[in-house]
Amino acid sequence: MRTKPTLAIVVPCFNEEEVLPYTLPRFLAKLGELIRNNQVAEDSFLMLADDGSSDSTWDIICTLARHNSRVRGIRQSRNRGHQNTVLAGLMEVKDCCDASISIDCDGQDDVDAMDEMISRYREGFDVVYGVRGNRRTDAWFKRTTARAFYRLLGWLGAEVVYDHADYRLLSAPVMKELSGFREVNIYLRGMVPLVGFKSCEVVYERSKRIAGRSRYPLMKMMGLALDGVTSLSIKPIRLVMALGVVISVASFFGIVWAVANVVMGWAVSGWASTISVICLLGGVQLICLGVIGEYVGKTYLETKARPRYIISERTSFEGDGSSRPAQVAPTDAEESERGDV
């Protein structure tokens, strides 16, 4: 049985001024409860990661940090997306805690599931996935497409946890190993299982958003899904090749059939059939080029090795709320020298 850990609750935020006044007291109350119940150490804290918000989100974080020593905050220099912000928060706390729990700031994830997550950690599990018991609060379209996406990833050979988003506990060793993953196109839900270590699941009920609106509209969800597929599997490329083989074989028999018709004198000139074949093959070729182009584009971005996040400000860790500006995450070249992210 492990001793009680120093816990960091990592909360990514982007333009959440409407919801933070409701959810931050809830997170702090839960952290205080865990400390009072002797489940986590006294020096546990809340890490708020601002994804370059354009509203007063960062001001709210700074104000809270000024009055509460258990609150820390970092701010990205610009909006870089949810996954990069979660990663930034994890990398910020990996050397000063025994375990972290990442949770969205919208209040939909049940904070009481943290009790069981910490219990599983103390039993020896290094990764504890928060899995939704049902998706009744999601719209039919989102629920259906999300489940289809998880099945698609499984079919493509990616190792993912069904109905798991980004509510999870990671031990410090897992976070340190995760820092060794250098890809720019980040999909944490697929990367964490690749790290390995002993893992388990905790089922919880997801509620409706407390306030504000979702920061994951349809286009962002589609982009995240595309990143998930292309960063975890090369099977689409193989499917394109298989499709090319099938069409080539079918075309060969089509040519044989056409020649036989000419020899037998059955050939009839037809504009519609010709156009249909051209359109079919042209469409298939464009789809194939698009799939291949997506992988080529991702390879191009990876070779640039740009920083995945840049932290422009941090609140003081002593609880006085002052900010330290212009602190930038190192490039991958600098990181490789010191083994950090």
- Distance (Å) of CA 92 to CA 119, 164, 234: 24, 23, 31
Query: CB-based contacts of 16: which residues, under 8 Å, 6+ apart?
Result: 53, 55, 57, 105, 106, 212, 215
Domain 7-233+306-338: CATH superfamily is Spore Coat Polysaccharide Biosynthesis Protein SpsA; Chain A (3.90.550.10)
Rounded to the nearest angstrom, the gap between the alpha carbon of residue 243 and the centroid of all alpha carbons in its chain is 30
| Section 140-156 average pLDDT | 64
What pLDDT score does 16 carry?
85
Is the pLDDT score of 285 beyond 80? Answer: no
Asked if 189 contacts 160 with a C-beta cutoff of 8 angstroms, the reply is: yes
Question: 284-297 as b/e, with b when 16 or more CB fall inside 10 Å?
Answer: eeeebeebeebeee
pLDDT tens digits for 222-272?
A: 665 566 566 666 667 667 767 777 776 676 666 666 666 666 666 566 655
Q: What is the mean pLDDT of the chain?
A: 75
CA atoms within 13 A on the CB side of 294: 19
pLDDT class for 323, splitting at 50, 70, 90? very low
The Cα 225–Cα 238 span in angstroms is 19
| Length of the chain measured in residues | 341
Of 65 and 214, the structure prediction assigns the larger pLDDT to 65
The Cα 247–Cα 71 span in angstroms is 60
pLDDT class for 118, splitting at 50, 70, 90? very high
pLDDT tens digits for 63-83?
A: 888 888 889 999 988 888 888
Could you tell me the pTM of the whole model? 0.65
Asked if 226 contacts 233 with a C-beta cutoff of 8 angstroms, the reply is: no
| Section 282-291 average pLDDT | 71
